[in-house]
Amino acid sequence: MTRRVPELYRAAPDAVVYMNAADAEKRGIKRGDAVKIISRRGEIEMRAETKGRNKMPEGMVFVPFFDAGRLVNKLVLDATDPLSKETDFKKTAVKVVPA
Q: Taking a C-beta distance cutoff of 8 angstroms, is the pair 49, 68 a contact?
A: no
Task: Among 1, 2, 8, 62, indicate the residue that binds other proteins (CB under 8 A).
Answer: 8
CB of 7 to other proteins, least distance (A): 4
- For other proteins, the closer CB: 50 or 75: 50
Interaction of residue 95 with other proteins, rule CB under 8 A: no
C-alpha distances out from residue 82 to 23, 87, 89, Å: 36, 10, 15
Query: Under rule CB under 8 A, which residues in 39-78 are in contact with other proteins?
Result: 51-53
Spatial contact of 35 and 48, defined as CB atoms under 8 Å apart: yes
Among 1, 2, 32, 68, binds other proteins (CB under 8 A): 32
| Cβ neighbours around 10 below 10 Å, total | 8
Count the Cβ atoms, other than its own, within 10 Å of residue 21: 16
Footprint of other proteins on this chain (CB under 8 A)?
6-8, 10-12, 30-32, 51-53
